[in-house]
Amino acid sequence: MVELEKDLVKATVRGFSRVIILWLLNQKPMSGYSTFKELRRLTGWSFHPGVVYPLLYELEENGLIEGKWVEKGRRRIKYYTTTKNGIAVLNRVRELLEAPVKEVLKDLIS
């Protein structure tokens, strides 16, 4: 039973990871590394960069976020922000969570 519980929690966190990334980048532009660290801080899960970066690339490819390269000394760092389409998706997720699902989430949190 412990393994099933662990898998269920892991699937839930992974399922919300794209939405959490969109939300984070809607708060402020972030580099991939900063996004990676914030995901870890918010979820308590140790995300591997090999999971986070493909999610960023996927979101960018689908027009939900956009990246811009910035020169920082000798390094180039890509900062991501949420696009208008990404904000629209976030708003649809908010609408979903305002529906009866909100009651379920409240109960789960308490």
Residue spans per domain, the chain: 2-109
- How wide is the angle at C-alpha 40 spanned by C-alphas 69 and 77, nearest 5°? 10
Percent over 70 (pLDDT), the chain: 96
CA-wise closest residue to 32 among 77, 88, 95, 86: 77
CATH fold for the domain made of 2-109: Arc Repressor Mutant, subunit A (1.10.10)
Instruction: Measure CA 17 to chain center.
Output: 4
Instruction: Measure CA 60 to chain center.
Output: 12
Read off the pLDDT of each residue in 1-12 and give the average, rounded to a whole number.
73
| Average pLDDT of the chain, as a whole number | 87
Q: Which of 11-25, 60-74, 84-98 has the lowest mean pLDDT?
A: 11-25
State the pLDDT at residue 68: 96
State the pLDDT at residue 1: 58
For 49-64, the pLDDT digits (tens) are 888 999 999 999 999 9
